A and B are shown apart, each in its own frame.
Chain A
Amino acid sequence: MKKIMVGNHAVSWGVMLSRAEVISAYPITPQTSIVEELSVLCADGRLKAKFIPVESEHSAMACVIGASAAGVRTFTATSSQGLALMHEMLHWASGSRLPIVMANVNRSLGSPFNIWGEQSDSLAQRDTGWLQIYCESNQEVLDTVIQAFKIAEKVLLPVMVVLDAFVLSHTAEPVDIPDGNIVGQFLPAYKPQFRIDPQDPRTFACFAPPDFFMEFRYKMQKAMLESQAVCKEVDGQFGEIFGRGYGLVEAYRCEGADLILMTAGAITSTARVAVDALREKGRKVGLLKLRLFRPFPKDEVLEVIRHAEKVAVVDRSLSLGLGGIFAHELRAAMCNEPVRPPIYSYITGLGGRDTTLQTINEIVYQTYERSEPDEQSIWIGMRG
């Protein structure tokens, strides 16, 4: 069944199809309509979940941590400042090894106050032990939510599904809604090994003194690294059943490319159009879409960019004092590779400024122009 729906509702419907049992969230623009729709689905019985309204995102995450520890499938959603407020709890969720799924609608962080799209909010949480998957379309959003539950419950780490403010969250597209029964076969009920149970009392998120703490972190890191294979496997299974797969990364028209653009999220769609036009003109430009960001799929990325002459990373994020975050993640991942293309870093579209075809073309043009990358990221689309 196809429906026209905004990205936020695609999230909600993905959660409904995944049969989450406890949902707790606090409204924040541009995420609010995710929980609004979920509360409707809960109220009218289409989703048999306990919906817990709370007074803050910190509490929302605390609620789903408790519920997840009690052994049920849980979901929350937030954005920007809300995600920042959750920060402490994000560590508790992952450290407790709870398979919570959260949607984050990318939005800038104040000050100055701004509600528009930027990927800095989720990228600032990259070290919290959450898997992060960036989506390009509303269809991908719905599919990724379903995949995220399966991945999380396999690797016992929380997963953040990331979508762009307004460009996805509030823009309607046709979305194919998979059959609930088939989703049920793909994603069976969550059966935890341990859960809060008065008959078998245990302390969850217990105390670990210096003689034990490192081992817990080591196991998390191992799980994080292994999750890459799980993500790939789950996406593969999903593709077999539903006919749609996304991969950890996607190479678009990269055959024989001398310049490869790297994007994540909805900018990818704009870049596709730009690449098509450039290819028309005979330019050998390709596009690498980064879908899984944490853990960073280094081998998959390397496979795509190995033979390119240049890579230009389009960052809608900023690590202050460093530069574009995807670019620097890529530079760090590649630094020990003997054969690797130089990596050019561009900052664009902060605080929701439109990233247009012209922006992409400018990035391509500047990358061709330069003989080697600048140390600092180059800002595109600034006022003159």
Chain B
Amino acid sequence: MSDQILLNTEKDIPYQPISLGSMEWNKTGTWRYLRPRFDNKVSPCNEGCPAGQDIEAAMVLIGKGRVLEAWDLFKEENPFPGVCGRVCYHPCESSCNRAEFDEAVSINALERFMADTAFKHGRRVGLKREKKKEKVAIIGSGPAGLTCAYHLARLGYGATVFEALPVLGGMLRVGIPEYRLPKKVLEAEIDQILEMGVNTEINTRFGENLLQKDLKEYAAVFLALGNHVSKRLGIPGEDGDWAMSGVEFLRKISLGKEVPLGKRVVIIGGGNTAIDTARTAQRLGAKPSILYRRTREEMPAFPAEIHEAEEEGIDISFLVSPVRLFLEDGVKKLECVKNRLGPPDEDGRRRPVEVKGSNFLLEVDQVFTAIGEDADLTALPKKIGIENHAIPTDERGATKQEGVFAGGDIIQQPHTVVHAIGSGKRAAIFIDCFLQNKKWERVFDAVRIGERGSLSMRRYLLDEKEWETKSTKTVRLQDLNLDYFEPKKRKRPTKAPMAKRQGTFEEVNIGFPEETAVAEAQRCFNCGVCNLCDNCYIFCPDVAIRKENGNNVIDYDHCKGCGICVEECPRDAMIMEEEGR
């Protein structure tokens, strides 16, 4: 009340009803029966990223030109932004609210931009935790195994990665061709993992020169063997020397071996391996074509890759199944039959049905089979059990044998790089819980991002007190105040000219220049998370939003609870609650 002004006579009173001093003594907050609160929620991209990356926050940082800090955020969750920025099928983008508004934000290309920028600047990950005494064995150096090793190292554990092949990286190294994922990018990210003190043992195959008893000294084990065994077609002639699995072909080429191809190369299958095999063969001078038993609709390969293959002139024949391979008068022949689509099978895709008498012959030089891969799990102990060619695991990624966790393609989850990375991180979190005797159910609730299984390592590393302050609501388009957003075209990364996509393994996708990246990141709605747009500050009729240490805070002494701030928040980062009295 100190700065009240005394108005004794009529003459003291101004002509205009205007305060001559501060009105802050009038604590209008007591009028309130509803209370606004800043409440950051889950953005759908973060929920949709199986690797649990804080995409929304990274978009804010890139949008402000703080690219390296954005990379730091990604590296908190995923050691492979350079890899994912190239090969991820980006479920974040299909979850993006902008996809319903105009077009999804180019998150994948921005991830790559961050990684390329960090690489150029020689950026490194910080955060070393105190060393713990327990050691963990990781079997398999693919994205799951290396991610688990990376996070365990950051948590202070001594991790040793055993790899059957002479190179690290698993399918990233021997499954994905150079033109999609240059080796130098992969190697740079693997090197950063190794720099954190991860041990590796190459040429060490579980069940051959690494036995169960050799793992006794490890307090926990993470199994991430990957699926490297190609499924068999089950047709005559499949074992001939001019038929080979696509996986084996890609592995050999990656390891620098030569594979005789000839000109007429036929690939059987419709997944990403089939596409990679065809495009690799094409670059080695062959004229490949793909045979797929169903139609384009049912193809399991990612649409973008099918599109790029067709751009490069690869022919895809649909509704064709192989019958047998045989030699006739010294000519290699593949007999095929035409199909039509029948009723859907158990996975919902329509089943191909043979059209009787429609058989035809193709003259070929080389046939590759790419109809899916399985794991070789024969060396695993019985107790772990195998169901549907996969190791059963619980929500933690733990197997039925205590202290043994599993991830990547050998568990029941989509066979993608990003799911492998997510499962590696999940294992690291719950191996830590297992070794430190933490109640894992509470941890699971605290670190999960939305409802689709993504977990946050950053939240896991927070002080446990902060675990309580989390909204689990995922923001949808209808939760946003769309008056504040305008349609804006999605920026697409450029691709190498066609001349550089023939006969060479140069990278096809080129990525964004910085200004494009910054502009694209600014398209992000920042769903559910305050980005200090200041709408609340501008609209509050009681000037009850205050600036404190660069943040907006609510002055509850004066906020009347009108709710305008919540209504005008473009991104659902505020809520109204009943006043607790």
Contacts and interface: CB of A to CB of B under 8 A. Distances in A.
Nearest to B20: A202
Contacts of B18: 194, 202-206
The number of chain A residues touching the other chain, given as a range, is 20 to 34
Interface in B10-64: 10, 13, 15-20, 22-23, 26
Contacts of A137: none
B532 interface: no
B15 A219 contact: yes
A202 B13 CA distance: 15
Contacts of B13: 212, 215-216, 219
A204 B7 CA distance: 17
B557 to A, nearest CB: 15
Chain A interface mostly helix, strand, loop or mixed? loop
Contact of B19 (A96, A206, A216): A206
A156 interface: yes
Contacts of A215: 10, 13
Contact of B15 (A97, A205, A206): A97
Contact of B7 (A203, A205, A212, A218): A212
B209 to A, nearest CB: 74
A208 interface: yes
Nearest to A213: B17
Given A203-B23, A215-B10, A218-B10, A208 B16 contact: no
A194 B16 contact: yes
Contacts of A193: 16
Given A203-B23, A207-B26, A212-B7, A96 B17 contact: yes
Contacts of B10: 215, 218-219
Contacts of A219: 10, 13, 15
Interface in A201-249: 201-208, 212, 215-216, 218-219, 223
B17 A156 contact: no
A219 B14 CA distance: 9
B20 A216 contact: no
B23 A206 contact: yes
A52 B89 CA distance: 46
Given A212-B7, A218-B10, A156 B16 contact: yes
Contacts of B20: 202
A95 interface: yes
Contacts of A203: 18-19, 23
A5 B19 CA distance: 45
Contacts of B26: 207
Interface in A108-166: 156
A207 B17 CA distance: 8
Contacts of A204: 16-18
Contacts of A95: 17
A197 to B, nearest CB: 12
Nearest to A97: B16
A134 B265 CA distance: 93
7 contacts: A96-B16, A97-B17, A203-B18, A206-B19, A212-B13, A215-B10, A219-B13
Ordered nearest first, which 9 A-B pairs have the shortest CB separation?
Answer: A203-B19, A97-B16, A215-B13, A206-B19, A203-B23, A215-B10, A202-B19, A219-B15, A206-B17
Interface of B: 7, 10, 13, 15-20, 22-23, 26
Interface of A: 95-97, 156, 193-194, 201-208, 212, 215-216, 218-219, 223
